[in-house]
Amino acid sequence: MIENERIVVTGAAGFIGSHLCRALLAQGASVVGVDNFDPYYSRERKDLNLDTISKSDRANRFEFYEIDVCDQSAITDVLKAQDTTGIVHLAAKAGVRPSIADPVGYSKANVLGTQSVLSAATEHGCKRVICASSSSVYGNNKKVPFSETDPVNHPISPYAATKVSCELIAHAHHHITKLPVAMLRFFTVFGPGQRPDLAMSLFLSKISEGSPINKFGDGTSSRDYTYIADIVSGIIASYLKIDDFGFRVWNLGGDHPTTLNEMIETISQVVGEKAIIHEMGMQPGDVDQTWADLSRSYKELGYKSSTSIREGLESQWAWMQSNLHVVNPK
Ligand SMILES: NC(=O)c1ccc[n+]([C@@H]2O[C@H](COP(=O)([O-])OP(=O)(O)OC[C@H]3O[C@@H](n4cnc5c(N)ncnc54)[C@H](O)[C@@H]3O)[C@@H](O)[C@H]2O)c1
């Protein structure tokens, strides 16, 4: 029963974290948010995310702490003070391309941060931990769709390598402590509040204002885009089910790939402007395609993708227009 839970959400000021906090509160859980406001994107965006939580129903059951997840004793103090039952660990330096310039920063926040959270969870006696992994762990897997049983020993960016490492340390931690841990492989997440560095956000802004966009590759690369509400449902389902498994990896995807060319065309239709395209080479670190095999998550979590690219982009565009002061500050 989620309403009896007291859950720490790390990365609560971020895109996925803030949606999850609101959903958990709406379902009756008590939520403790943790974030260090990593400067990867603007503080204003994160303040807006926190503001939407504090204006949501049952916001009196939400508390927030500004803490770096690498600080294990600070995390343990919060877990104890709040008598936390479980953790959803989403805090990370996200994004493939910037990880190439800062592999040490990514390793510290993602790998050390995850070990710190797991160790704090065990020190306090939390009942379970759910961690964000990523479709990027599959690297340039040629076999599609990507299944949880496929090998993930060939990441092609420092970011992806940190996520593979997180899965390995989580497995070892579970093996030693028996703490139930789920690793969720999210496939490119979109919708209201999407991270500003992601292609859909950038293209919605630029195409709508008649500015050119950089298209990397010939447009046939593809992503299995996943709507934020589906990701949130998958996280909550995994929180309720992980005790039955001990350690488990689940894909959370959108059920079919969309090419870059199709994505640009849909965005043009949604904003009502033709895209002006600068053709660029493929970016190092970017994979050719992602596509989730969802049979395990469907069978074990009841997970289903429910929102089309077009519907999701319309919601994302509506959100961007009503939050222009932070989306596109002048
Ligand atoms: N958005 C996607 O498409 C996607 C896809 C795959 C995996 N993921 C993973 O999902 C998680 C959430 O992603 P998001 O898109 O919401 O990103 P986000 O950047 O919006 O949120 C992450 C939050 O973590 C915080 N953070 C970073 N380092 C921290 C630290 N050391 N201590 C405390 N807080 C810290 C940041 O300030 C940020 O608010 C991440 O782990 C990311 O790698 C996201």
Q: Is 231 in the pocket of ligand 1 (CB under 6 A)?
A: no
Q: Is 180 in the pocket of ligand 1 (CB under 6 A)?
A: no
Share of the chain above pLDDT 70, in %: 99
pLDDT digits (tens, 9 = 90+) for 166-185: 999 999 999 999 999 999 99
- Comparing 55-59, 74-78, 210-214, 292-296, the range with the smallest average pLDDT is 55-59
159 counts as catalytic: yes
Q: Is 146 in the pocket of ligand 1 (CB under 6 A)?
A: no
Q: Is 189 in the pocket of ligand 1 (CB under 6 A)?
A: yes
Which CATH architecture fits 2-191+225-254+292-305? Answer: 3-Layer(aba) Sandwich (3.40)
Measured in degrees and rounded to the nearest 5, phi and psi for residue 237 equal -60, -40
Q: Quickly list DSSP for 57-125.
A: TTGGGEEEEE--TT-HHHHHHHHHHTT-SEEEE--S---SHHHHH-HHHHIIIIIIHHHHHHHHHHHHT
Ligand 1 pocket test, candidate residues 40, 90, 227, most atoms within 8 A of CB: 90
Under 8 Å between Cβ of 32 and 5: no
Give the residue whose CA is nearest to atom 34 of ligand 1: 35
pLDDT digits (tens, 9 = 90+) for 312-323: 999 999 999 999
Under 8 Å between Cβ of 69 and 108: no
**Which residue ranges make up each domain of the chain?**
2-191+225-254+292-305
Residue type, 282: M
- Tracing tokens 């989580």 back to the chain, one arrives at 170
Indicate the pTM of the whole model: 0.98
| Mean pLDDT calculated for residue range 280-295 | 92
